[in-house]
């Protein structure tokens, strides 16, 4: 089946006309200025200021100082030749307590950023929530509490009223799996809770928040609306072992199907509900929720970094809380493939398999790779270059995988590199560099890496 939006020629790695090329960032990871102009703390401010939570107790207080340096960053985007820029709005900057009127100074910042992007011919691709929940809302229960979903939809509606004239693409959530399971079950992300039942309720309320926000944005005539999931193929370490095959089914259920099924089929997968039944029931899922969550979307964002290879341990996994409710006896296994600095195996085929699987099994709306990229230990040479050949190779192989998925019939319409800039990599602090642009965190000096120069050739040629 050929993608409906343009001719695809598999003999060259040329992409269809109108293919979206971009880079992605998120507010807390780059903006800094956490106390400026009425912004109040988010859960990530609280988490990073709690000793022992983040590598070297680093915080996003300054990050890339993008709040003040965005004009330079927009020029870098123009140098990269991207058609689109994916970034998130900081809820605690726009609506400091998570409810009530919008903060004019926060709106002014994003308004200036949008104007600057549009002046450079770059289309903004806005994410409403990339993990920085206003602390006030966490204090009253956070995502495990249903009202947080309602507050999120109200925030989305207000923001769209004020910024919607300049934004075509709206993403409700980025990677709700991380918000729910890393934040509320494993406790390695903000708010750092370790309560498996709370995590499952959080996952449902994130999805409900998405559904309520979609309805609110549709009522206001918003452009294209979608959501971004972190997806990965999940394999059994020993496929001949039934216990490992079952481990793979359960982890696939929690990472992929727990989100894909309600969003694209309007129902939670029955096997996953059974797996987690001893962690929590479904009392928090109310009549009508799944119809909201499963409302049609205009696009699905896919973030892909690495596959998961799992096996069942014969004893419960040691070492503290796990993100895997209903699969605490599962551990991930490495196969000895080359890795990035995150310790993630490099497997571009996993992107191909993810895109084609979602396309085949779910018949989703158009797909966009909304994040793909890699951390490596970059250094600036005395001549001022960053020779990041490994990142270039990583991106080339993954863009080629997206192209193969297109050739196989998946309607893949864009590719965003994570990330524009080296930035605050959550629990890893500033130790892991994902940028196409190097940032010296002492001086805030930006240096385009070799991979960035290479990516600029791809975006301009619309071909590999």
Residues near ligand IFM (CB under 6 A) are 26, 29, 175, 303, 371, 418, 425, 434
In the complex, minimum distance from the CB of residue 244 to ligand IFM, in angstroms, rounded to a whole number = 26
In the complex, minimum distance from the CB of residue 203 to ligand IFM, in angstroms, rounded to a whole number = 16
What residues does 221 pair with on adjacent strands?
A: none
In the complex, minimum distance from the CB of residue 334 to ligand IFM, in angstroms, rounded to a whole number = 18
Residue closer to ligand IFM, measured from CB, 48 or 303: 303
Question: Using an 8 Å Cβ cutoff, are 298 and 226 in contact?
Answer: yes
Residue closer to ligand IFM, measured from CB, 27 or 136: 27
Residue closer to ligand IFM, measured from CB, 38 or 343: 343
What residues does 23 pair with on adjacent strands?
A: 85, 417
In the complex, minimum distance from the CB of residue 101 to ligand IFM, in angstroms, rounded to a whole number = 28
**Has 331 been annotated as catalytic?**
no
In the complex, minimum distance from the CB of residue 130 to ligand IFM, in angstroms, rounded to a whole number = 6
Residues in the chain, how many? 464
Beta strands in 198-350 (DSSP E): 224-230, 234-236, 299-303, 308-312, 330-332
**Has 371 been annotated as catalytic?**
yes
- Interatomic CA distance for residues 198 and 202, integer angstroms: 6
DSSP of 409-425:
T--EEEEEEE-SB----
Q: Which of 138, 175, 235, 425 is catalytic?
A: 175
Question: Using an 8 Å Cβ cutoff, are 372 and 418 in contact?
Answer: yes
- DSSP class of 463: B
Cα-based torsion angle of the residue sequence 111, 113, 116, 118 in order, rounded to the nearest 10 degrees: -70
Residue closer to ligand IFM, measured from CB, 251 or 279: 251
Q: Which of 138, 331, 371, 425 is catalytic?
A: 371
**What is the distance of C-alpha 134 from the center of its chain?**
18
In the complex, minimum distance from the CB of residue 304 to ligand IFM, in angstroms, rounded to a whole number = 10
Residue closer to ligand IFM, measured from CB, 190 or 236: 190
- Interatomic CA distance for residues 19 and 454, integer angstroms: 18
Query: Cβ neighbours of residue 266 under 8 Å, at least 6 residues apart?
Result: 290, 291, 293, 294
- Interatomic CA distance for residues 146 and 149, integer angstroms: 6
Residue closer to ligand IFM, measured from CB, 114 or 421: 421
Phi first, then psi: what are they for 128, rounded to 5°?
-80, -30
Residues annotated as part of the active site: 175, 371
């Amino acid at each position: 089946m050929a993608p409906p939006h343009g001719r695809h020629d598999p003999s060259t790695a040329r992409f269809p006309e109108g293919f979206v090329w971009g880079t992605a960032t998120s507010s807390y990871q780059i903006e800094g200025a956490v106390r400026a102009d009425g912004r109040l703390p988010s859960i990530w401010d609280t988490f990073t200021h709690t000793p022992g939570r983040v590598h070297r107790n680093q915080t996003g207080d300054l990050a890339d100082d993008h709040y003040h340096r965005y004009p330079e960053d927009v020029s870098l985007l123009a140098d990269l030749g991207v058609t689109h820029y994916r970034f998130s709005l900081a809820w605690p900057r726009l609506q400091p307590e998570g409810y009530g009127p919008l903060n004019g100074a926060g709106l002014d910042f994003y308004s200036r950023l949008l104007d600057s992007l549009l002046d450079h011919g770059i289309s903004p691709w806005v994410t409403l929530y990339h993990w920085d929940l206003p602390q006030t809302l966490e204090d009253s229960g956070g995502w495990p509490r249903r009202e947080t979903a309602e507050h999120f939809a109200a925030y989305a509606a207000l923001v769209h009223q004020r910024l919607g004239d300049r934004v075509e693409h709206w993403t409700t959530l980025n990677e709700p799996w991380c918000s729910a399971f890393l934040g509320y079950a494993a406790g390695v992300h903000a708010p750092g809770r370790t309560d498996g039942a709370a995590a499952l309720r959080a996952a449902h309320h994130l999805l409900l928040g998405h559904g309520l926000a979609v309805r609110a944005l549709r009522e206001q005539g918003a452009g294209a609306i979608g959501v971004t999931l972190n997806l990965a193929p999940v394999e059994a370490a020993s496929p001949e072992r039934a216990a490992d095959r079952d481990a793979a089914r359960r982890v696939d259920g929690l990472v992929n199907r727990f989100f894909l099924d309600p969003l694209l089929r309007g129902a939670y997968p029955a096997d996953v509900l059974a797996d987690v039944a001893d962690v929590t029931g479904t009392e928090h899922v109310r009549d009508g929720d799944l119809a909201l969550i499963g409302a049609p979307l205009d696009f699905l964002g896919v973030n892909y970094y690495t596959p998961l290879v799992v096996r069942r341990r014969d004893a419960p996994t040691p070492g503290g809380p796990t993100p895997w409710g209903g699969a605490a006896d599962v551990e991930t296994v490495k196969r000895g493939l080359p890795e990035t600095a995150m310790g993630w195996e490099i497997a571009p085929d996993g992107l191909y398999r993810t895109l084609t699987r979602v396309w085949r099994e779910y018949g989703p709306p158009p797909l966009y790779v909304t994040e793909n990229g890699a951390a490596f230990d970059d250094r600036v040479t005395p001549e001022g270059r960053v020779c990041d050949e490994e990142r270039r190779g990583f991106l080339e192989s993954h863009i080629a995988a997206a192209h193969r998925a297109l050739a196989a019939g998946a309607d893949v319409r864009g590719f965003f590199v994570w990330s524009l800039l080296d930035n605050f990599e959550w629990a890893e602090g500033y130790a892991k560099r994902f940028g196409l642009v190097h940032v010296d965190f002492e001086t805030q000096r930006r240096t385009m890496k070799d991979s960035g120069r290479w990516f600029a050739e791809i975006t301009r040629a619309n071909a590999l």
